[in-house]
Every structure is written in C-alpha cells, then in structure tokens.
Structure 1
C-alpha cells in the first residue's frame, strides 16, 4: 500500500457500527434521540400531554365569514372537531361526534349549516351545540333522557393574533393570552388589523411533526434554498438576527430586510405590510407546531398536525389585508406563489428535506442521534431555538429528549 493510501486509511472520517452508536460529545441539551421521532408510545404520550393541553390553530376567522359557516378540523390530539360561526356571529367549536352512537356528524371539510343532523339516527343539533331533536325521543326514552342531556361536547375557542381561531380541548387550560405571553410582541402592530386567507393548501409527508418544526426553527438550512442564499444570506444583517425564547416553548427571530431584486428574474416588492420595514421579515414559532412567517407583503401560517409518529399533515395559509384593493391582492398572491406556493422556490425544498429525514429514521434498528449543537451567540444559525423547543418538550413529557427511555440514567445507576 502506498504511503498516501496508508495515510488516507488511518485518517478516515467514516464510523463503524460501534462508533455510530456512541452518544455525541455534547451537553445533553445539544442533541436528541431519534426515538422521539419514531416511537409509537412516545407519540401517543405527546397527544395526551402536549396536544391535548395546548392551544392549537384550527382555522382563520375569514374562513367563517357568514353565520352558520363551518370547517371541520382534525385536532392533533386525535379528536375530530367542528368549528362553526353561530347566528350571533360568535365562533364556537365542538367534537364532530354524535353523542348517541358516536357517529361523525359533518363529513365535508367546509360548508354552511343551520342545523346539524346525524345521518345515523337523525338526531339534530343547532350551531350552539344544543340538541334540538331526538327522533322518536319520547317513545324510546320516555322521561329518562332528552335533548337537554344530549348536547354536543364544546371545546374552548378564542380568536386572536391575526384573527386565527384557536382551540383547546382541555377544559382546565389557561387562557390563550396566558399561553402565548409576550412571544407575539414583534408582530403586535402588523397583526392588529383584519386579515384574510387568500391561499390554502396542505401536504401529507412521511415524517415526524417535530422535524418540520425544527426546519421552521433554524436557518442553517438556508443552504438548501438558493433563493434564500441570494436574497438573504449574503445581505447585510442576516447573521445578526437573534433568537429569543419565551415561556411555553415559543421563540422569535429578529427582523431583517430581504433584497428580492438580488435574485435574477425577481424584483423589489411593490406592496408592503403596514408597520413592517420595506423587505422586512419576521418569524415566530409557537409551540408545538405553528409558525407565523411575515415576509414583506405576505403572512404565511404553517400548522403541523401529526397523523402518527411517521406521518404529518401540514396546513399552509397565505394571508393579506382584508382592506386590499384587487391590485394589491394580486401582488400579494404573486409574491406568495413565487416563494411559498406549491410551485414556488422554497416550500418543495423544505418538504423534500423533512421527507428525507423521515425516510432515514423510519424502521431503524440502531441508535442514532440528531445534533442541535450549533452555538453562534443565539444568532440566526445558532440552534438555540431548537434547544428551547426540546427543553419545553421534555418538561411537558416528563422525558428527556436526548434519553427518552431513561437508558443513560439506568446505565449510570447500574455502574
């Protein structure tokens, strides 16, 4: 063997099976076990201890413009919900389940209904959740059971932070304001006006919901986006943006100006957003899977809804101002679709990234780790936002994200 070949062999950078399974030489906070992305038991516990305890965005108020308008929503904790605007114009939410025999009440994703009637036995309910008719009720139940006992199961509902409809299936939960705290303060002015959804689409990806939220929580992955590298990374101020963590696992990223005309074929945006500097960009992550992304002229909202440990439904909404002229709205739609629509520059690249992660982690049999170890003084490529998320995840789950089954603790105790 030549001397050069010998040197290359001795200085190899690959790892054998034993080395691959070694824990990273980082603090426990700087990496996580891939079990938290693949384990069915952990996922079921997440549904119980996280998703069934926190506020989740179900839709936007502009999607329920008229009395009796409704949307169905698959809550990430597992419960199917109905979100409906009453004749009093108040938005309420209920389980989409008939209290008689557990049948689904509404099957269409959107619609308008003054009366909700179960197809199974024709029990009927109004949009306030009251039971208004039990077919052959007196004959079957006499005085033992009636409409007053058969109302729909209501879910706590609040509208806020840009007009989004938030739901919480925990009757003992704190208010939405208490849950959000100061985390949305960077967008107080920008969201303090009526907004309107102009674009909605969804994607189902074979991945874990946390991997999608990871992608929204760190900008090191901007190396995946040519558009972002040109319009953002090489522009002044990009690496100065700071992460700020808030209670309950939320985090924000400081603003900067995006230089759109640096990208060939693009141009500076003609429509801005009130209170946002020209080319401005603000991103706020809300635990456990929602992201407000205001970029120059468009607000994009992502809501991650896990369907299992290895399958994820992501809802994407593009929003503009309700006061937009037709010309302004057309400009916002063009801006949105250039970057974030199904055929834009960025979105399919992000989806491909988390799809690849999902494929690599699925059905694995060896031990692997995901690193969150970058430290850059909590600036844009620091992975502190992800560490902040997993600290909250660990607190709520009663498990450590780096050692969810307590293997390290067991080994140390045995030693």
Structure 2
C-alpha cells in the first residue's frame, strides 16, 4: 500500500545518522556555503605533473570554489599555481586550456607575468603611473601548491591551510606502496552531469550499487571474498576500500590482464575516497582519478584521468589504454551506467519534485555493501557545515 503525503515526508525509521535530507542536494544557499566551507579550505587535485612536462608548460583549472587557476611549471622546474586573474582590471590572463608560455600576458592592456608570478611588464608604466605604482606591486596571486601521492598537483586556496599530508592523514597509506614509480597521464575526459557533486561521490562510497552493473552482477559479485572487503574511515572524511583480485577472464569478451602494476597482485584493486570529492582507483593495470568540480546544486563537472607508468613500452601503454577504456572509458562497461544512475537522482531530486530523504541505513559490519562510507562522509559534511545532514535547516 502506498504512503500518504504525511507518511512520505516523515523521517525514515533509522537513527538520524542513517539518512540525510535530500534538500541538501538542491538548495542554492547550502551549495554556496559548501563551496566556502568544504572546498575552499581543502586540498584539491588540479592536474598531474605529467601534464606539465616542460618548463613554461601550463594548464588551466577551475577550482571547485569557483576560482580560475593557472598551473604552470617554471624555469626552475617547480610547479606553481596562480589566479588566472589580471591584477590590473580583473581580466582573464590565459584563455587556451593548456600551452607553453615564458610570459603570461593579459590581452587587455599587455601586462605580462613570468612563471614565478612576477609582473615583468606594464605597458607605458612610467607615463601612466610615474613612481606611484611599480611592477613589484602587481604580482599574481599565488596559492598553495604541492606535488604528492603519485605526482599529482594539489592546490589549496587558504594561505593558512594545514600541510597536505596532515589533511590526508593515513588515508593514502594503502596506496603508497604502489605509487613509488613515476606515472604518466594517457587519458583525460570530462563529464558534464546534471546532478549534485555529493551524489557522484556517494557512488564511490558504497558498492551496493554493483547491482546497477550487469557485468559486475555476473562476475565480481559471484567471486569468493567479494562481500568481505571492508571500508576504513579516516579523519577529515576520507575512506578506503579493501582489495580484491578481479577475475577478468570471467568477463564476456575479456581475458586476464596481460599487464600488471608494480607490487600489485594480479587482478588487484584498491580505492581511496578523499573528501570532499576525489577518488583514487587502482585497478590491476591502471590508476584512475576522479575530481568533482561542482557548478551548481544540480550540476557537476567530473574530470577523469587514466594513468600508466612513465617507463611503459609502447606495447604496455597500449594494453593499459585498452584495459582502461574497456571499463572506464566514455563507452566502457561501467562508467556510463554510474553516470546514468546519478543523473536519474539529479532529475528526481531537483527542487520541486517533493523528494525528501536519502537512506544510508545498510549495516553489514563495514563490509562492501554496508553504507558506512556514506555515513562517514556526511558526518564530516555535518562537522564542517555546522549543521546535521539529516536536519540542515
């Protein structure tokens, strides 16, 4: 028998920690607050160092808090991050998404900057400013930047932020043994999805949704040990998922992976979820990284990166690309199904649909179909936002 409006709106019969108010996925005020309280003070992956292989190489990145950034490798080989905003009249400095620039010049009035953020040229400076304003007064706004955890470039907008390793804590320890060799990017694409960024991260926080994936239902879920993998929560909202060995030869049209990963057992798989919206996913022969860039309460840009080893032969790299695209490419076996699911959530939860609650009530001793990963995430969300996810108003 169906429920009445009052029954539909009543809180689920679970502890308050086991459900969230679905309005936190659609409320514009909450979204703006998240950008300031979750993303601005957090360390965020901007790109991989292999995307900036040479001196003066740059790449643009829109920070989840909304700030446009330039990631650039200087003549000293150091990678730095700056606002992509001219200090003169607030114009965009660089427009192409990537390139090589010894000088970064604003097209508006030809003010130029070097890769260390110094202003090196102000057109007709003496005539217009005399001694009242100098190049030294017009340097770029630099933000905190570190290279770590597999060669990724991390940024933090807060000048007084804690060091990256303090933010991560022990969450990456499970992957550290497998990130000792230099990696190189071989795949990048973005998905523009009509859903809330937290709903995407939720899919990486629970594996109960393996029922969504046909190939997972007929292969991995039938393997011994599948249900034994455990979630481990860490401070700051991070979590890891224990490993399992995937029998790829059981997949229709697939076979056992011909290329592995240094130190990883054949078919091995590790995953780390990082608050507020990043995931490391090492699966047999490929490292995949997801980074969420929220655009609105019901709109997110997800950056997907696939990486192999820098020392790969041409044959090894070709195999890694094949392995990656089979599962995680835009037309792979899993990714499009995940995107379809969260798009459906975004459609059903948009403002005015009368969606009310999202249940996170499964308890299976913190194993793979337990929803403890989601509860752990929203506990951190509640702490940072200063309001409980189950009653945010």
Is residue 38–residue 310 contact of structure 1 (8 Å, CA) maintained in 2? yes
Q: Secondary structure at the match of 1:252?
A: strand
1:313 Cα deviation after fit:
0.1
Alignment-derived partner of residue 161 in structure 1: 149
Deviation of 1:329 after TM superposition, in Å, equals 0.6
Please name the residue that 1:175 is paired with: 163
Larger Cα Rg: Structure 1 or Structure 2?
1
How much does 1:88 deviate? 0.5
Asked whether the 8 Å contact 2:349–2:355 carries over to 1, the reply is: no
- Which runs of 5 or more structure 1 residues have no equivalent in the other structure? 1-11, 406-415
2:82 aligned partner: 94
Alignment partner of 2:329: what SS? coil
Query: Which portions of structure 1, spanning 4 or more consecutive aligned residues, are displaced by more than 6 angstroms?
Result: none
Q: Does 1:130 align with 2:118?
A: yes
Q: 1:366 aligns with which of 323, 346, 354?
A: 354
Aligned residue number for residue 185 of structure 2: 197
Distance 1:301 1:231 in 2: 24
Which stretch shows the higher mean deviation, 242-251 or 223-232? 223-232
Provide the residue aligned with 2:381 in structure 1.
Answer: 393
Alignment map for 1:15-414 (pairs within 5 Å): 15-364=3-352, 366=354, 368-405=356-393
CA contact 2:348–2:355 (8 Å) conserved in 1: no
Between the aligned partners of 1:197 and 1:367, the Cα distance in structure 2 is 40
Q: Distance in 1 between matches of 2:111 and 2:64?
A: 27
Inter-partner Cα distance in structure 1 for 2:181 and 2:160: 30
Q: CA deviation at 1:30?
A: 0.3
1:367 shift after superposition: 5.4
1:280-324 superposed Cα distances (whole Å, 9 cap, x missing partner): 010100000000011111111000110111110000000001111
Provide the TM-score with structure 2 as the length reference: 0.99
Does the residue aligned with 1:185 lie in a helix, a strand or coil?
Answer: coil
Distance across 2 between alignment mates of 1:220 and 1:266: 24
- Other structure's SS at 1:23 match: coil
Q: What displacement does 1:332 show? A: 0.6
Question: Residue 219 of structure 2 contacts residue 251 of structure 2 at CA under 8 Å; is this kept in 1?
Answer: yes
**Deviations 1:237-260, CA, capped at 9 Å, x for gaps:** 110000000000000000001011
For residues 85-130 of structure 1, the C-alpha deviation after alignment (integer angstroms, 9 at most, x for no partner) is 0011000000000000000001111100000110111111001000
- Distance in 2 (CA, whole Å) between partners of 1:367 and 1:183 is 34
For residues 108-159 of structure 1, give each alpha carbon's deviation from its aligned partner in whole angstroms, at most 9, with x where no partner exists. 1110000011011111100100000111111111111111010000000000
CA distance in 1, matches of 2:211, 2:353: 30
Q: C-alpha displacement at 1:363, in angstroms?
A: 2.1
> What is the RMSD computed on CA atoms of the aligned residues?
0.8
Write the distance in 2 (CA, Å) between the matches of 1:234 and 1:320: 29
In structure 1, what is the Cα distance between the partners aligned to 2:95 and 2:258? 41
Deviation of 1:365 (Å) = 5.3
